[in-house]
Structure formats: C-alpha cells, structure tokens
C-alpha cells in the first residue's frame, strides 16, 4: 500500500470497517463535454458510487470495446485533452472529494511527460492511476513510469495471469487490484464470467489490498452476483452507453444518477 493515505485508501478502509462492497463507476472524461463530466461525477456521487474511474481520451484504446472506444472518440472530437481533463478535475475538486482514478494508456503519459503527468495529476486531486498497457514488469523496472507516492498505482489481473504474475502484481499492489473477469475487451455481457471467486481467492493469498471485479457487468443482478465474490464491482460500458444515448439531454446527469442507483443498491445489498 502507498505510504500516503489518500482518498482511495480512506474510502476502502471505511468500507472494510462497515463490511460493505465498493461500487466503482467508469466514464470517459470529456464525453459529451468536460463540463458534463463534472456534473456526471457529482451525480455518480449522489447515487452512492465510491470510486470514479475517469478515462483519459486516447485515439487507440486497444483494451476497450466499441462503446468505450466511441466515448473516447466523442471526447476527443469535443476537444478533450489531458491538460483540459486536469483542469476539469481541479474544478470538480472544489465540489467533491470522491476518490478518482485516471484510466489511461501509456501514450498520453509519454506525450505529456512522465514526471509532470504524475505530479500534475496529484496537484489536480487525482488519487490513483491505471496505465492499461503498462505490464507490471516494465512498471517495476522503470522508476519514471511509477506514479509519485501520493498516487496509487492500480493494476489489472486477467483470468490468464499465471500464478507468478498474480503474486508479483499483488505484492506490489496499491489502492485496489482490478480483476478483469474475462478475456477480450470492455463491454456489457449477458452472463457473469465463471471462476471469479476462485481467482479472487488466489489474489487474496498475496495481498490485503481490496480486489474489485469488472468487465461485462451491466445490470443489478450481475452486480450483486459479482459483489458476493469480491470487495468491489466496476461498471463502465453500461453507463457509457446511457451517456451515448442521452448525451444531448438537458437532464443527462440526473438520468445517470437514476440509472446507477439500483446498481449501487445491488452491490450494497439493499435489493
């Protein structure tokens, strides 16, 4: 765990002591606009979301399914850049202390400059970073790729990760571990993946850091099933799809809140 207790660590500590699971929501920063992103994060917070993952718009999001790819594309076309995303987060931080994790590929970090990327992200109020195409071995070997200590380095584990790799990732984990419940790219699925409980148990042999599970969760029933097997549930594409459909609506943020509320309730065991 990071030596610094940031918003993310504090939220997971609170959840642990109250015996609750985390609800983690993903949206693409700047889709449909950066102003709308501020309102939607506030709406997610009102809906009871514990952690918000903000996708940094990038032209080649290779781990993302079509729904998230199109969201990144809309954000880029609407003019979102990494500096503007940071500016949006600074504005958001005047109104909310919800834990925020940036989801990004290596390329936008490289373009911006590794060191200033991390220090500027912390200064804006970011709590964690997940670099989707950064293998753990590379992260360990290249000190400049590691976030500053204030920023949790969130890592992914996949169903195909061999035990040695799971151990390596888990022993170096910060914030939370993101277990991707199935192979392929992001996107809603009809069935919950198999083997989640077993893999979460393997990961937990090596770490106390919470394990959140995502990929393909799109309704309250699936969210409740996944919540019973992990410390938290991640939902992305289902929310992004609503934003795609209702992006022009004046009450977009309210619609997001109404959509997410039952998902949160399912994870918190209220339904």
Q: Which residue among 9, 31, 50, 53 is the active-site one?
A: 53
Q: Note whether 32 binds ligand IGP by CB under 6 A.
A: no
Q: Note whether 104 binds ligand IGP by CB under 6 A.
A: no
Q: Is the CB of 2 or the CB of 186 nearer to ligand IGP?
A: 186
Q: Which residue in the set 92, 217, 260, 264 belongs to the binding site for ligand IGP (CB under 6 A)?
A: 217
Q: Note whether 132 binds ligand IGP by CB under 6 A.
A: yes
Q: Which two tokens stand for residue 236?
A: 């992305």
Helix 196-204 vs helix 163-171: crossing angle, to nearest 10: 60
Contacts of 191 (CB under 8 A, 6+ apart): none
**Nearest in space to 8 (alpha carbons), one of 134, 182, 153, 207:** 153
Q: Is the CB of 53 or the CB of 231 nearer to ligand IGP?
A: 53
Q: Is the CB of 6 or the CB of 237 nearer to ligand IGP?
A: 237
Residue nearest to ligand IGP (CB): 236
Q: Note whether 136 binds ligand IGP by CB under 6 A.
A: no
**Nearest in space to 47 (alpha carbons), one of 68, 23, 17, 16:** 23
Q: Note whether 63 binds ligand IGP by CB under 6 A.
A: yes
> What is the nearest approach in angstroms of ligand IGP to the Cβ of residue 61?
7
Q: Is the CB of 100 or the CB of 238 nearer to ligand IGP?
A: 238
Q: How many CB atoms lie within 10 A of CB 52?
A: 22
Active site residue 53: yes
Q: How far apart are CA 202 and CA 192, in angstroms?
A: 19
Segment contacting ligand IGP by CB under 6 A, of 8-16, 61-69, 169-177, 200-208 = 61-69
> What is the nearest approach in angstroms of ligand IGP to the Cβ of residue 237?
3
Q: Note whether 215 binds ligand IGP by CB under 6 A.
A: yes
Q: Which residue in the set 214, 256, 259, 266 belongs to the binding site for ligand IGP (CB under 6 A)?
A: 214
End-to-end alpha-carbon separation of the chain, Å?
33
Q: Which residue among 64, 150, 231, 257 is the active-site one?
A: 64
Q: Note whether 41 binds ligand IGP by CB under 6 A.
A: no
Q: Note whether 176 binds ligand IGP by CB under 6 A.
A: no
| Contact in structure between 250 and 15 (CB atoms under 8 Å) | no
Interface residue list for ligand IGP (CB under 6 A): 26, 53, 55, 63-64, 68, 103, 132, 180, 186-187, 214-217, 234-238
Q: Which active-site residues does the annotation give?
A: 53, 64
């Amino acid at each position: 765990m990071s030596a610094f207790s940031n918003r993310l660590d504090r939220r997971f500590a609170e959840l642990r002591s109250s015996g609750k699971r985390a609800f983690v929501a993903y949206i693409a920063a700047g889709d449909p606009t950066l102003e709308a992103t501020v309102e939607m994060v506030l709406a997610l917070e009102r809906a009871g979301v514990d952690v918000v993952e903000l996708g940094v718009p990038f032209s080649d999001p290779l781990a993302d399914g079509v729904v998230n790819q199109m969201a990144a594309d809309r954000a880029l076309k609407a003019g979102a850049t990494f500096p503007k995303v940071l500016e949006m987060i600074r504005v958001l931080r005047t109104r909310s202390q919800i834990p925020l994790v940036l989801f990004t590929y290596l390329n936008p970090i490289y373009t911006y400059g590794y060191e200033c990327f991390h220090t500027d992200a912390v200064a804006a109020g970011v709590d964690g970073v997940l670099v989707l195409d950064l293998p753990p071995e590379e992260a360990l070997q290249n000190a400049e790729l590691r976030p500053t200590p204030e920023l949790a380095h969130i890592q992914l584990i996949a169903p195909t990760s061999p035990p040695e790799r799971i151990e390596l990732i888990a022993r170096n984990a910060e914030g939370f571990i993101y277990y991707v419940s199935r192979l392929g790219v992001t996107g809603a699925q009809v069935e919950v993946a198999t083997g989640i409980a077993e893999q979460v148990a393997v990961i937990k042999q090596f770490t106390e850091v919470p394990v959140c599970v995502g990929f393909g969760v799109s309704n309250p029933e699936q969210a409740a099933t996944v919540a019973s097997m992990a410390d938290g549930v991640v939902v992305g594409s289902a929310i992004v799809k609503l934003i795609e459909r209702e992006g022009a609506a004046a009450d977009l943020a309210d619609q997001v809140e109404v959509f997410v509320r039952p998902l949160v309730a399912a994870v918190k065991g209220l339904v």
